[in-house]
Amino acid sequence: MKKFVVVAGNIGVGKSSLVERLSRKLDWRPFYEPEAHNPYLADFYRDMSAWGFQSQIYFLANRLHAQRQLINHPDSVIQDRSIYEDAEIFACALHEQGTMNDRDYATYRDLFTALSGFIPPPDLVVYLRASVSTLLTRITLRSREYERAIPSAYLELLNRLYEGWIASFTLCPVLTVPADNLDFVAHPGHLELIVQKVQEKLTGKEVVLFDPQEISTSTD
């Protein structure tokens, strides 16, 4: 049976890396976030007030294109960041910061609400949770020039919004992965542990939270 899984989480947490590895392990079709092609992104990080609305509209449009493709794809799919995060995390953060005004935010929310009603929910959200210090380290390692100016306070705000969103998300089950402690890039055993819990969650089993013993015995 076809499955639709989303990998969610803050900037630099490792979503694309996990999508790539899970898609290979499980033979799923990956759908990546189109951030590298966003013509507004570099301008946005330089001046969020001027470019926040345009950048969010671009992301929303591209996310909808991806949604249509993954819905029509005959096999199981895994998506790098959900359409819900655009509205509930990033647009909300801009509005809370005062870098998206009330009028633009209301327009964006109205558009998102109208469009999201036509989108089927995923079967599972895999939420990568990490501290700001971990995010900053990983952002530095991947050397995207436009990300180097991201302030830690912005990442802290996004983390807070992510936690609130996950706590209230009810459209499908959620698997929370402690990304501070699990390094699925360096340790294949950590990836196998995530794969196991994803499969258990998709079959309706009660998944035990990741515990330190599981993690420590999976570093190979």
Contact criterion met (CB below 8 Å) for 16 and 80: yes
Whether 211 is catalytic: no
For the chain, the domain total comes to 1
Q: Which one is catalytic: 43, 47, 75, 80?
A: 80
pTM as predicted: 0.89
Tell me the two tokens of residue 24: 């290979």
Domain residues for the domain of 84 are 4-216
Which strands make up the sheet holding 77-80, listed edge to edge?
Answer: 29-31, 77-80, 4-9, 124-129, 174-178
Output the tens digit of pLDDT for each of the chain's 220 residues.
899 999 999 999 999 999 999 999 999 999 987 655 778 878 887 888 888 899 889 888 888 888 899 999 999 999 999 999 999 999 999 999 998 999 999 999 999 999 988 899 999 999 999 999 999 988 888 767 767 778 899 999 999 999 999 999 999 999 999 999 888 888 888 999 999 999 999 988 776 677 656 666 666 6
Q: How many CA atoms lie within 13 A of 150 on its CB side?
A: 25
**What's the CATH number where 103 sits?**
3.40.50.300
CB contact set of 12 (below 8 Å; sequence gap of 6+) = 130, 135, 136, 138, 139, 142, 147, 155
